[in-house]
Amino acid sequence: MKRSFPLALAIALLVGCSSSSTTPNVGSSSGAETEPERERPRIALIMKSLANEFFSTMAAGAMAHQSEHADEYELLVNGIKDESDLGRQVALVDEMVAAGVDAIVIAPADSKALVPALRKARKAGVVVVNIDNRLDADVLQQEGVSIPFVGPDNKAGAKKVGDFLANKLAAADKVAVLEGKTTAFNGVQRRLGFEQAMKEAGIEIVSSQSADWETSKANTIAASILSEHPEIKAILAANDSMALGAVAAVKSAGKAGEVVVVGFDNIKAVQALIREGKVLATADQHGDQLAAFGIETALKVLENPEANPEHVETPVDLVTAETLAN
């Protein structure tokens, strides 16, 4: 499988290095006649696993946005090495605050565990915008922080994928669900969307387990589900990384063409499988634009600190062989 981590990391370092001095008003004391260059705000994007194509696409979209608005802000791009590197993501928040960034745009790996670090960032005067995976509303309230969310309705997105699948199945068919991290709000919402679609179609979910967003874990779990429930007709994966693991498990079980797989994210590897008929559908949550939308919200607040931005709902669309052909 293609690993985009080294490329993303290289780009991240490049972007990080392009930051200007942290000393304010450079050049203003020289007495030179030229206007002192206005210092651009520095925005840190903090993502999750850079091994997941979803996030390298997100990084590329953010960098494209920055180069189109290069006079408005500087960008530092950060991510963690795998889906379970939660401690590193918390440390990144602290590091970005210590580096004196003006804003943090973050896709949190865990909806609750990141809140204390982000509260500290807010206390330090850093603007924080939450993208992709929503922070837990109760924990935010307990911690007394308000952080705008920019991202899709994950339940609705999963419902669209589930409805499309249900149309291809018959009532009383049996299926299994591979959930994302259970501590991630978007993972929970996708499970609920899948469940609602199956319930409405009279389809039974015989097993629903978390594979923590990961391909290899999904592969192991899907293999054991297939041997325990050989009657299942489909596997609904809450992201495409897990769908890849499920497809491999279906193949190893000799059930290609019998057990259908669906995912969520619209990564390139899954688009190819949709075209080959090995995955039925996924959801495009426009990862390339998600961070850019978050950055725009951060810029609004930086411009007007009194602004109290609303949550921004971003699009999520069903992707099938038919939509890919158009």
Q: Under the rule (CB under 6 A), what is the footprint of ligand ALL?
A: 48-49, 52, 54, 83, 107, 132-133, 186, 213, 239, 241, 264-265
CB of 272 to ligand ALL, least distance (A): 17
Q: State how far the Cα of 100 lies from the Cα of 77, in Å rounded to an integer.
A: 15
CB of 264 to ligand ALL, least distance (A): 6
Smallest distance, ligand ALL to C-beta of residue 64, A: 19
Nearest Cα neighbor of 62 from 322, 293, 257, 306 is 293
Residue (132 or 195) nearer to ligand ALL, CB = 132
To the nearest whole angstrom, how small is the minimum distance from the Cβ of residue 108 to ligand ALL?
8
CB-nearer residue toward ligand ALL: 78 or 133: 133
Minimum gap (Å) between residue 104 Cβ and ligand ALL: 16
Q: Tell me how far, at minimum, the Cβ of 212 lies from ligand ALL, in Å.
A: 9
Question: Three-state secondary structure along 244-278?
Answer: HHHHHHHHHCCCCCCCEEECCCCCHHHHHHHHCCC
User: 52 or 207: whose CB is closer to ligand ALL?
Assistant: 52
Residues in contact with 26: Cβ distance below 8 Å, sequence separation at least 6, in sequence order: 20, 36, 37, 39
Euclidean distance between the first and the last CA atom of the chain, given in angstroms as a whole number: 26
The residue (of 108 and 201) whose beta carbon lies closer to ligand ALL is: 108
| Residue 162 parent element (H or E) | helix 154-168
Q: Which two tokens stand for residue 126?
A: 């850093």
**CA-wise closest residue to 290 among 95, 199, 192, 154:** 154
Q: Report the residue number, 217 or 278, with the smaller CB distance to ligand ALL.
A: 217
Q: Which residue is nearest to ligand ALL (CB)?
A: 239
Residue 201 or 236: the one with the smaller Cβ distance to ligand ALL is 236
